[in-house]
Chains A and B, each alone.
Chain A
Amino acid sequence: MAELSDGLLVVTLLSYLAAMLLHAGEYAFGDRGRIANAAASLAAPARELVGAGAPVVTEAPHAYAAPSVTGTDDAAAGAAGGTRSRAGWLGPAAVAATILGASAHVITVVTRGIAAERLPFGNMYEFVLSITALGSVIWLGTLYFQRQVRHLGLFVMLFEVLLVGVAGMVLYTPVGPLVPALDSYWFGIHIGAVITSSSLFMVAGAASIMYLVRTGYDNGKRGFLYAFGGRLANAEAVERLSFRLHAFAFPIWTFGVTAGAIWAEVAWGRYWGWDPKEVWAFISWVVYAGYLHARATPSIKRSTAAWIAVIGFLTMMMNLFGVNIFFTGLHSYGGV
């Protein structure tokens, strides 16, 4: 089982890498994407409306919102119209590679759990692997319901490749039992909630980054990353998706932190002791609360809120990697 798990990790990583490259290829060689074209043709009338100052403007689709009625899936449009571009297969192939990678990933995690005879959250390797596996599943689920955000796949796969790569190459730990400190039913509750919310935050954070790239491009930025902002469509839909994922993740994160506090009371005698992990969990919580406030305040720009969300994700990463590597605390059984 352990060997199967380790072998499938390689399949996972290679599939994600392929998916990322295919997504990137779609940006590079796609005919600016059917989506982008549709958006470009929409942009003109929308601006006219702005100029006319009609009260309906706020109801008009955003300049780069995809029309929701027409088939926005390249494959579907290609099959129907027969006008499929030569690079049109890249996007669907990227999704196929993602599905393959996610399947291998989930089996990697499950077989790891079977080999260890416990939940596969026992050390940093398993923890990162579980977050990313759930992240892929959440991403595919999102894609199933909202085909038009497929472009987001590049950013999600970038995160997946980086995190799974680091897990496999740096954090790898052979299968082992839980140390007594972790042997509690709070283990599953607390870490399960943290993993779930982390993976949601990951996909949501990727969406915020994509939104920022696009809005940056619209504001005339052409530097690294911003350069291909012009090829990103559906920024509004992606921003809305980001908010909904964050709003879904935040209560789970809150629950995870609360469960951690209850467990800390049982294990160490205090529910909160400002251990470095606790400090950074607090910081992430406060930053994400800030995001929700910013998002709910009409006078604050959506891109400002998106920046806060990205900072939130950075604090999560700091907690995951930084705290385990730089600080020692009661949570130091990460296995690094």
Chain B
Amino acid sequence: MSVTEAAVENPPMGEPPRRRTPRLVAAVWAAARNGWRQLTSMRTALMLLFLLAVAAIPGSVLPQRSVKVEDVQRFYAANPRLAPVLDRLWGFEVYASPWFAAIYLLLFTSLIGCITPRLRDHARALRTAPPDAPKRLERLPQSAVLDTAVDEAAAKAALRGWRTVRREHADGTVTLAAEKGYLKEAGNLLFHSSLLVILVGVGLGSLWGWHAGRLIVAGPEQVFCNTVQQYDDFGLGPRVGAGDLPDFCLELTDFRAEYRADGMPVSFAADVTATDSAHGDLGRHTFMVNHPLRLDGANVYLLGHGYAPVLRYTDAAGVTQETVAPFPYTDPTLTSQGVAAFPDANGSDKTKQMAFSGTYLPTKDGPPYLRSDHPEERNPALMLTAYRGDLGLDAGIPSSVYDLDQRQLDAGRLKKYGEPKLMRVGETWTLEDGSRVEFVGTRQWITVSIRHDPGEPIVLTGAVLLLVGLPLSLYGKRRRVWLRLRPDGTAAAGGLPRTEYPGFEDEFRSLVERWQR
């Protein structure tokens, strides 16, 4: 419409040039108005909804950093040429990408543009009385001529729950105009507005929320304190500083896992004692899968668990060190693999550092010692392989604590030392140089996720409002009925459904029946 308006406004030829500026303003204004009208049209909303659905797909196909960083690294390794290109297109951060944001921000702009005038209209509709009966009620989708005299009071009573207006005309005719179903539009507006509430909640959460992950081994010397330095990985919202993190420490005192005979897990529970610097002891807590530990300003979730073999190594000079090495598991029976390193073994000679790579089997009665028979520690076995040489720990290159440094192995600076050895708890293995390693036992470890999202209550509120508004909007039916009582005792009625409503005929008929009684 605005396009044609702008065209019509074309001035006659030979107009003085000073009018160009206002014309330009008018054209820009018209274009903007037209664009706005386009943006807030239902068709555009539909297109944007579709775009949003399509734009969400790549995030389920490509690994996402926000979901699992390791998968992205694996993808990089497998597709070294494609990955950087995808990365530049935000392929690994689809839901934080500018193009995804562009779609939903446009959609929400469209939404605001759509609901604002409807809010105003609905507010007006709530204040205006239903209009008077049309002259010819028989032209309406539903109409009836009432053949018995109608008592006005009784007719009004039949309209309970309807918004009814009585009008008296000069000729003595009385009309009742009634309307029902305002909640449909109210529900629709509530529902669409609640989407904005959810968006605000999500936004607040991503600005002021944070999350972190940490592996905690059982034992008092393994206490975890909630600081950035102690996290294995973390992500802080742009408005969160390291100093804003709540102060607490957790000690894993026990971990209990229950399994069925076939090794299927039944339940997991972690016992911790919590402390903070202001109050000291915060007491003992148990948390499990589906029952997080809710502390002030942070929730702690149990994600995984496993075993950490404890090894005591006494070098040839008789110096003893003990290490607790959490081993990640590789299968559901908790076959676990890891490394116990003794960088300080054999004095300060870097070429004589010691490490043991091992496979821990919580239940294994006989060979082959490859896979555990059960996740519980029924007959634990530890296959150890000794390595001697430079562990490469101070090369400044970050290395995994669960693997030996492959570069040192390849370069021959770190070598296998003797044959692999099967060990049971309490056994000691004496190596060639007279040093000894003892398998002291195991400790439990758990991995936890620690999170805080201040947007949660807002998002939940939005979701509840959405769920209230949606059925009102979908199942509500806006309709009007009129009853005209003429002074001669005759009466006529009419009805108009204002939304799709197949049952309106029945409702109208039963209303008419009650009026006639």
A residues near B, CB below 8 A?
Answer: 59, 176-177, 179-181, 183-184, 186, 240, 247, 250-251, 254-255, 258, 261-263, 265-276, 279-280, 282-283, 286-287, 289-290, 292-294, 296-297, 299-300, 315, 323, 327, 329
Q: What would 18 A/B residue contacts be, using CB atoms closer than 8 Å?
A: A59-B141, A250-B470, A251-B471, A254-B470, A263-B290, A266-B291, A267-B289, A267-B290, A269-B211, A272-B202, A273-B66, A274-B66, A274-B67, A279-B57, A282-B53, A287-B49, A290-B49, A293-B42
Q: How far is the CA of A283 from the CA of B502 in the complex (A)?
A: 31
A240 CB contacts on chain B under 8 angstroms: 502
- Do A275 and B67 have beta carbons less than 8 Å apart? yes
Q: Which of B53, B202, B467 contacts A258 (CB 8 A)?
A: B467
- Do B266 and A180 have beta carbons less than 8 Å apart? yes
Known contacts A254-B470, A269-B449, A300-B43; 19 additional CB pairs below 8 A are A177-B266, A180-B268, A183-B289, A247-B474, A247-B475, A251-B470, A267-B289, A268-B301, A268-B303, A270-B211, A282-B56, A286-B49, A286-B50, A293-B42, A297-B43, A300-B42, A300-B46, A327-B60, A329-B67
Known: A180-B288, A267-B290. A283 touches B57 (CB 8 A): yes
- Do A269 and B60 have beta carbons less than 8 Å apart? no
- Do B451 and A269 have beta carbons less than 8 Å apart? yes
A329 CB contacts on chain B under 8 angstroms: 67
Closest beta carbon of chain A to B31's beta carbon, Å: 23
B320 CB contacts on chain A under 8 angstroms: none
Chain B contact-residue range equals 35 or more
With an 8 A cutoff between CB atoms, is B265 at the interface? yes
Q: Which residue of A lies closest to B471 (CB)?
A: A251
Q: Which residue of A lies closest to B269 (CB)?
A: A180
Q: How far is the CA of A292 from the CA of B292 in the complex (A)?
A: 38
- Do A290 and B451 have beta carbons less than 8 Å apart? no
Q: How far is the CA of A271 from the CA of B301 in the complex (A)?
A: 13
- Do A181 and B289 have beta carbons less than 8 Å apart? yes
Of the candidate stretches B380-388, B416-424, B455-463, the one touching chain A is B455-463
Q: How far is the CA of A38 from the CA of B301 in the complex (A)?
A: 64
- Do A297 and B60 have beta carbons less than 8 Å apart? no
Chain B positions 262-287 with a Cβ under 8 Å from a chain A Cβ: 264-268
- Do B459 and A271 have beta carbons less than 8 Å apart? yes
Residue-wise, chain B 238-265 has the 8 Å CB interface mask toward A (1 for contact) of: 0000000000000000000000100011
- Do A274 and B64 have beta carbons less than 8 Å apart? yes
- Do B301 and A254 have beta carbons less than 8 Å apart? no
B49 CB contacts on chain A under 8 angstroms: 286-287, 289-290, 293
B residues near A, CB below 8 A?
Answer: 42-43, 45-46, 49-50, 52-53, 56-57, 59-61, 64, 66-67, 94-95, 141, 202, 211, 260, 264-268, 288-292, 299, 301, 303, 449-451, 453, 456, 459-460, 463, 466-467, 470-471, 474-475, 502
Known: A177-B264, A247-B475, A269-B292. A274 touches B95 (CB 8 A): yes
- Do B467 and A255 have beta carbons less than 8 Å apart? yes
Most buried by B among A180, A181, A329: A180
Q: Which residue of B lies closest to A322 (CB)?
A: B60
- Do B290 and A177 have beta carbons less than 8 Å apart? no
Q: How far is the CA of A262 from the CA of B66 in the complex (A)?
A: 19
Q: Which of B60, B141, B456 contacts A279 (CB 8 A)?
A: B60
B53 CB contacts on chain A under 8 angstroms: 282-283, 286-287, 290, 315
- Do A270 and B453 have beta carbons less than 8 Å apart? yes
Q: Which residue of A lies closest to B301 (CB)?
A: A269
Q: How far is the CA of A327 from the CA of B56 in the complex (A)?
A: 15
Q: How far is the CA of A186 from the CA of B291 in the complex (A)?
A: 12
B471 CB contacts on chain A under 8 angstroms: 251
A269 CB contacts on chain B under 8 angstroms: 211, 292, 299, 301, 449-451
Q: Which residue of A lies closest to B451 (CB)?
A: A269
Most buried by B among A177, A254, A269, A327: A269
Q: Which residue of B lies closest to A257 (CB)?
A: B463
- Do B267 and A180 have beta carbons less than 8 Å apart? yes
A247 CB contacts on chain B under 8 angstroms: 474-475
Closest beta carbon of chain A to B13's beta carbon, Å: 39
Closest beta carbon of chain B to A94's beta carbon, Å: 27
A292 CB contacts on chain B under 8 angstroms: 474
Q: How far is the CA of A315 from the CA of B60 in the complex (A)?
A: 12
B43 CB contacts on chain A under 8 angstroms: 297, 299-300
Most buried by A among B56, B141, B267: B56
Q: How far is the CA of A324 from the CA of B502 in the complex (A)?
A: 41
- Do B60 and A180 have beta carbons less than 8 Å apart? no
Q: For the complex of A and B, list the 8 residue pairs with the smallest distance between their C-beta atoms, beginning with the closest.
A: A279-B60, A184-B290, A269-B301, A269-B451, A276-B60, A290-B49, A286-B53, A251-B470
Q: Which of A177, A276, A282 contacts B260 (CB 8 A)?
A: A177
A186 CB contacts on chain B under 8 angstroms: 290
B67 CB contacts on chain A under 8 angstroms: 273-275, 329
A254 CB contacts on chain B under 8 angstroms: 466-467, 470
- Do B59 and A180 have beta carbons less than 8 Å apart? no
- Do B95 and A268 have beta carbons less than 8 Å apart? no
B289 CB contacts on chain A under 8 angstroms: 180-181, 183, 267
Q: How far is the CA of A275 from the CA of B60 in the complex (A)?
A: 7
A327 CB contacts on chain B under 8 angstroms: 60-61
B52 CB contacts on chain A under 8 angstroms: 286
Q: How far is the CA of A251 from the CA of B475 in the complex (A)?
A: 11
Most buried by A among B46, B64, B291: B46
Q: How far is the CA of A300 from the CA of B49 in the complex (A)?
A: 15
Known: A267-B301, A269-B449. A293 touches B292 (CB 8 A): no
Most buried by A among B50, B53, B141: B53
- Do A279 and B59 have beta carbons less than 8 Å apart? yes
B61 CB contacts on chain A under 8 angstroms: 327
- Do A293 and B46 have beta carbons less than 8 Å apart? yes
Closest beta carbon of chain B to A323's beta carbon, Å: 7
- Do B50 and A283 have beta carbons less than 8 Å apart? no
Q: How far is the CA of A274 from the CA of B97 in the complex (A)?
A: 13
Known: A251-B467, A269-B451, A327-B60. A183 touches B290 (CB 8 A): yes
A287 CB contacts on chain B under 8 angstroms: 49-50, 53
- Do A279 and B56 have beta carbons less than 8 Å apart? yes
Q: How far is the CA of A260 from the CA of B64 in the complex (A)?
A: 21
Q: Which residue of B lies closest to A323 (CB)?
A: B60
Closest beta carbon of chain B to A210's beta carbon, Å: 19
Q: How far is the CA of A299 from the CA of B41 in the complex (A)?
A: 12
B60 CB contacts on chain A under 8 angstroms: 274, 276, 279-280, 323, 327
Q: Which residue of A lies closest to B298 (CB)?
A: A269
Closest beta carbon of chain B to A112's beta carbon, Å: 17
Q: How far is the CA of A177 from the CA of B265 in the complex (A)?
A: 9
Closest beta carbon of chain A to B319's beta carbon, Å: 43
Q: Which of B56, B470, B474 contacts A283 (CB 8 A)?
A: B56
B475 CB contacts on chain A under 8 angstroms: 247
A180 CB contacts on chain B under 8 angstroms: 265-268, 288-290
- Do B459 and A179 have beta carbons less than 8 Å apart? no
A315 CB contacts on chain B under 8 angstroms: 53
A273 CB contacts on chain B under 8 angstroms: 66-67
